Amino acid sequence: MQDVMKRFTFDLTCLLLLGIDPECLSTSFPRVPCAEAFDVIEEAIVYRHCVPPWVWKLQRWLHVGWEGKTVKAEECLNAFLEERIRVKMVEKQAKESSLNDDGDDNYDLLMKLIVETERLMGAACYSSKGEKFVRETVVSLMVAGRDTIAVALSWFFWLVTTNPGVEEKILEELLCTIGESGEEQGIFSSIEELNKMVYLHGAISETLRLYPSVPNEPKQSMEADVLPSGHAVGKNTRILVSIYSMGRMEEVWGKDWMEFKPERWISERTKCTIHVPSYKFAAFLAGPRSCPGRKIAFMQLKNIASCVLRRYKIVVVDDHPVLPLPSIMMFMKYGLKVRVLSRKPENK
């Protein structure tokens, strides 16, 4: 199921950003080299933090080991994005020469990024620096849109299906919110319906507490400073913030920190979602570095989760090992093997 989620979010991200559908979810489940390149590069980043710099730099120079794989992955990814940018540049020139009187410029996100970058840098600078900036920006957006959502959904379905009581409460909430006619109303829920899914919101928040999509956040001090804890930090000191560990601290979350408990995010009095400070729940970072796409991420997660759960029952295969993969994204090391059963008896 993790592979399905990755394919789905990659297709979705490419549609939104690049205006194309790579069809990762076609029935043949094809190999998509540019999608696989992301996985290689992410694991290589972790590898670089585990060995002395001279080791990986030597490997990169010799094109061997992880660095040899990384070079090939970077070439594959850059070729894919450069081709998309080239196509968009051609489309941009065609649109500029054929705009109607209303000035219709219905561009997708990549086109808008190209236009804005060219406007800010100027045509001369864009040709030498602009394309690299656009390409790297698109990579960042694709990682944020593809991997974080796919990781969160994989852990969410595992936690929910292994906690039947939670699954039952989510289904009750979906029935009350969407009703039995939800199937005929469309695949996705409206924003108003999503806002009413308080328990589902709590279940997703609890998933991100226990298994944050990005488990560690590295920082480096620009100047000497003193942390709120009183610890002195020297200039250019590297600090690794373990968001994974923060979500499992008894002094922060209580003695029941190991429990998958969506109720901890819901007020008993108002039955509404409780606001938890970002410095306590740091899955989306905190302060001025907080993720600007937090609300969009929750909307996506709630929509996809509700679509799947109200139609299908997910059953994890017996004895399937579920372990986190040591990488910059907390994917499951062995994926998530499940059986998918229709909730309509006649379709089983």
Determine the distance from the C-alpha atom of residue 58 to the mean position of all C-alpha atoms in its chain, rounded to a whole number.
32
24 labelled binding-site residue: no
| Phi, psi angle pair for 221, to nearest 5° | -75, 135
Query: For the chain, first and last CA: distance in Å?
Result: 18
Token representation of residue 103: 């000035």
Tokens coding 145: 């849109």
- CA–CA separation, 335 vs 322, rounded Å? 7
- Residue 120 CA to residue 131 CA, distance in Å, equals 13
Helix (H, G, I), strand (E, B) or coil at 225: strand
CA atoms within 13 A on the CB side of 206: 25
* Cα 258 from Cα 113, distance rounded (Å): 43
**Alpha-helix residue ranges (DSSP H) falling in 105-130:** 109-121, 123-125
Question: Could you tell me whether strands 312-316 and 232-233 are parallel, antiparallel, or unpaired per DSSP bridges?
Answer: unpaired
> What is the token pair recorded at 149?
């959502």
Other beta carbons within 10 angstroms of residue 71's beta carbon come to 16
How many residues does this entry show for the chain? Answer: 348
- Please give the DSSP secondary-structure letter assigned to residue 232: E
How many alpha carbons fall within 13 Å on the CB side of residue 17?
Answer: 23
Q: Which of 163, 179, 197 is nearest to 300 (CA)?
A: 197
Distance CA 207, CA 225 (A): 33
Q: What is the rounded CA–CA span in Å between residue 168 and residue 345?
A: 17
Cβ neighbour number for residue 254 with a 10 Å cutoff: 11
Q: Which residues are annotated as a binding site for heme?
A: 291
Q: Which residues are annotated as a binding site?
A: 291
